[in-house]
Amino acid sequence: MTGRWELNDEQWAVVEPVLRPVRRADNRGRPWHDTRAVLNGVLWVLGTGAQWRELPDKYPPYQTCHRRFQNWVRSGKLEQALKLLAASLHAQGKLNLDEAFVDATFASAKKGALPSAPPVAARARRSSLSPLITVFLSPYLSKALRLPRASLWKRFLPEDSSTNFPRG
């Protein structure tokens, strides 16, 4: 069972060739932490917006995840892997950045006001989109790639998708 921001086997098969580590020619040095576990840790930080040091214990040390994240950004491997992942999720209908948004506002109701929806409907799942969509909209990712967030949408959207919103 994979966690919220963790890649399943099919998604990992898509990005693994890009992020496969290259061993030293002399085979010296410490063995690397599992690349999949490190990537899942990176996705957790990007998805939650938490600080690196808050990374849960089930992932490799946050220093390792952060160092590999920086290396992947510098080499362009992270962007390439996320493009492949975005295309795969879009093909499955689990990622549509045209309809996605992240909003941190909260509006509370006045005391004694009538509820706007029954409690059961309020808890129902509203979308079948992947939780990985928050990774693509993460401010950490836009800062690391040195792009405004609006440019990230166009960068990761597959070519057959449109960013035109219908005017009503």
97 residue type, one letter: L
Residue 79 in tokens? 């962007």
- Please tell me the predicted confidence (pLDDT) of residue 72: 92
- Please tell me the predicted confidence (pLDDT) of residue 41: 94
134 in a structural domain: yes
pLDDT tens for each residue of the chain, 168 residues long: 467 788 999 999 999 999 998 887 888 888 889 999 999 999 999 888 889 999 999 999 999 999 999 999 999 999 899 888 888 887 887 776 565 455 555 556 556 655 555 554 445 445 555 667 677 666 667 666 665 555 555 666 655 544 443 333
**Which residue, among 49, 56, 65, 61, has the nearest Cα to 143 in the 3D structure?**
49
90 in a structural domain: yes
Q: Are 97 and 153 in contact (CB under 8 A)?
A: yes
108 in a structural domain: no
Half-sphere exposure of 44 toward its Cβ, with a 13 Å CA cutoff?
A: 24
119 in a structural domain: no
Give the structural domain span for 50: 1-21+31-98+129-159
Residue 44 in tokens? 């957790």
Q: CA-CA distance, 135 to 18, in Å (whole number)?
A: 18
110 in a structural domain: no
The structural domain count of the chain equals 1
94 in a structural domain: yes
State if pTM tops 0.85: no
Q: CA-CA distance, 87 to 81, in Å (whole number)?
A: 10
6 in a structural domain: yes
